[in-house]
């Protein structure tokens, strides 16, 4: 299989074809139901199946193109999440199609409701295990890295997931007592929203892993090394040393393969509890490893990743346009760092240093929360669409099954 190469496409992928596809599919579905065609249920099921399969094809292609255009984008999460969601949905749709009790003339809402229950039944054990693992990893993170609010995000999300599972069971129980279409609409909507955010989390995990293990071409002009704290004596912490070692390995490999010397940009200011700037500490470490001083540039004013990228970009732009850049950071931090680079209009690819396992879950949670907060308008649009689809499907189902003579 041909390796996907990042930043090789100039045009951003569009997915309007999926909107056109589903609009045509729902119209066709409605026409088949209105005409009462022979084998109409089978035909309508095949229409939905075709729409699902084509959507997976379109989204897979969009995901590949997004990686080639800009992998450090929330669109990477969206495309991966919806691809996974529709793949599982296609399997469940086939189960529903071959169920022995299909007799309604219009059963779109019944299928949405049934698929929601199937999703809930299948995902609940995995969610319980995932939540428990997330809590355990956060306990280790807090033990070794402190009790900051960011380090509690995994536990908070785990509790929300477990509350959602409890809500699923409560909604299902209430249905056995209350019954009726209104309950079914509310239950299907609850499941749709819960499942949507579950797959957004899966997409976030994919984006983190996909970018963390990417290996760029050995043709770079600059290697930005992102700071992350020093020991009391001013030497790099193990986490920071891992970032420098990863950058140095790429540096040596590129020289061995191409003879081209990239320049390091050691990026990080001096914190109130640090003896020297992180930039100077990294420079000293590189000099000890035999890196020539002329191959090291210092950026010692930044206090966070955004400023790392912004200030490094100023150094790069001052030296000349069209530079090829990578940044070195911990693997769990690659996707977020790439986002910060694109925010300051710096096209840079990331390389990741080996990282303790307990950093990963919290990193995924942080990107997941970032997805929700930074794309509030898109989230509102998607949630509104879910509400409208569930209500429309329920109304049509009620009309065709109960109002038609």
Q: Given pLDDT bands bounded at 50, 70 and 90, which one contains residue 125?
A: confident
The tokens for 347 are 């096209």
- Cα 66 from chain centre: 13
Calpha distance 290→281 (Å, rounded) = 15
338 touches 351 (CB < 8 A): no
User: Per-residue pLDDT tens for 344-391?
Assistant: 999 999 999 988 777 777 777 777 777 777 778 888 888 887 777 767
Percentage of residues in the chain with pLDDT exceeding 70?
82
Q: Give the mean pLDDT of the chain.
A: 83
pLDDT at 103 over 50: no
Please tell me the predicted confidence (pLDDT) of residue 171. 55
Q: Given pLDDT bands bounded at 50, 70 and 90, which one contains residue 156?
A: confident
Please tell me the predicted confidence (pLDDT) of residue 302. 95
- Lowest mean pLDDT across 30-44, 314-328, 383-397: 383-397
Q: Where is 267: in which H helix or E strand?
A: strand 263-267
Measured between alpha carbons, how far is residue 272 from residues 146, 229, 277, 286 in Å?
Answer: 18, 11, 10, 24
Q: For residues 125 and 24, which has the higher predicted lDDT (pLDDT)?
A: 24
Please tell me the predicted confidence (pLDDT) of residue 351. 97
User: Per-residue pLDDT tens for 194-253?
Assistant: 778 888 888 988 999 999 999 999 999 999 999 988 989 999 998 899 999 999 999 999
pLDDT at 53 over 70: yes
Contacts of residue 153, defined as CB under 8 A and 6 or more positions apart, other chains included, come to 138, 362, 365, 366, 369
Q: Residue 350's beta-bridge partner residues?
A: 327
Rounded to a whole number, what is the largest CA-CA distance in the chain?
87
User: Per-residue pLDDT tens for 255-301?
Assistant: 999 999 999 999 999 988 889 999 999 999 999 999 999 999 999 99
Reduce the DSSP state of residue 225 to 3 states and report it: strand
58 touches 21 (CB < 8 A): yes
Q: Where are the alpha helices (DSSP H) in 146-227?
A: 153-178, 181-212
- The domains found in the chain, sorted by start residue, are 16-212+375-403 (no CATH), 222-357 (3.40.50.620)
Calpha distance 305→308 (Å, rounded) = 5
Calpha distance 346→314 (Å, rounded) = 10
The tokens for 325 are 């850049």
Residues, the chain, total? Answer: 405
pLDDT at 1 over 60: no
Calpha distance 209→77 (Å, rounded) = 11
- Give the number of other Cβ atoms within 10 Å of residue 332's Cβ: 24
The tokens for 38 are 């022979």
239 touches 229 (CB < 8 A): yes
245 touches 282 (CB < 8 A): no
Question: Does pTM top 0.85 for this prediction?
Answer: no
């Amino acid at each position: 299989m041909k390796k996907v190469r990042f930043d090789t496409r100039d045009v951003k992928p569009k997915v309007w074809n999926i909107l056109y596809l589903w609009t045509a599919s729902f119209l066709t579905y409605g026409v088949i139901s209105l005409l009462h065609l022979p084998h109409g249920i089978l035909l309508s099921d095949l229409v939905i199946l075709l729409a699902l399969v084509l959507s997976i094809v379109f989204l897979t292609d969009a995901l590949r193109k997004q990686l080639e255009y800009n992998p450090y984008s929330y669109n990477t999460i969206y495309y991966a999440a919806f691809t996974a969601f529709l793949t599982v949905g296609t399997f469940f749709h086939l189960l529903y199609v071959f169920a022995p009790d299909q007799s309604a003339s219009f059963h779109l809402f019944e299928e949405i409701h049934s698929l929601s229950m199937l999703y809930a039944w299948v995902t609940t054990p995995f969610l319980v295990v995932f939540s428990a693992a997330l809590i355990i990893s956060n306990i280790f993170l807090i033990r070794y890295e402190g009790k900051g609010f960011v380090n509690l995000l995994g536990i908070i999300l785990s509790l929300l997931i477990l509350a959602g599972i409890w809500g699923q069971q409560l909604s299902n129980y209430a249905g056995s007592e209350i019954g009726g279409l209104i309950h079914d609409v509310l239950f299907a909507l609850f499941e749709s929203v819960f499942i949507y955010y579950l797959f957004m989390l899966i997409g976030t995990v994919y984006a983190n892993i996909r970018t963390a293990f990417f290996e760029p071409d050995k043709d770079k002009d600059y290697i930005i090394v992102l700071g992350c704290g020093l020991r009391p004596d001013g030497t790099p912490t193990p986490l920071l040393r891992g970032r420098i070692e990863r950058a140095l390995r790429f540096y040596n490999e590129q020289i061995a393969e191409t003879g081209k010397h990239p320049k390091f940009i050691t990026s990080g200011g001096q914190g109130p509890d640090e003896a020297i700037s992180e930039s100077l500490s990294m420079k000293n470490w590189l000099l000890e490893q035999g890196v020539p001083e002329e191959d090291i540039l210092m950026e010692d004013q930044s206090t966070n990743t955004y400023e790392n990228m912004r200030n490094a970009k100023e150094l790069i732009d001052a030296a000349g346009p069209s530079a090829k850049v990578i940044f070195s950071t911990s693997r769990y931090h690659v996707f977020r760092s790439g986002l910060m680079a694109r925010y300051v209009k710096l096209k840079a690819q990331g390389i990741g240093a080996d990282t303790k396992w307990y950093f990963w879950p919290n990193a995924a949670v942080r990107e997941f929360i970032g997805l929700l907060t930074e794309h509030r308008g898109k989230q509102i649009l998607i949630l509104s669409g879910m509400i409208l689809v569930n209500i429309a499907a329920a109304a049509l189902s009620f009309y065709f099954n109960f109002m038609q003579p």
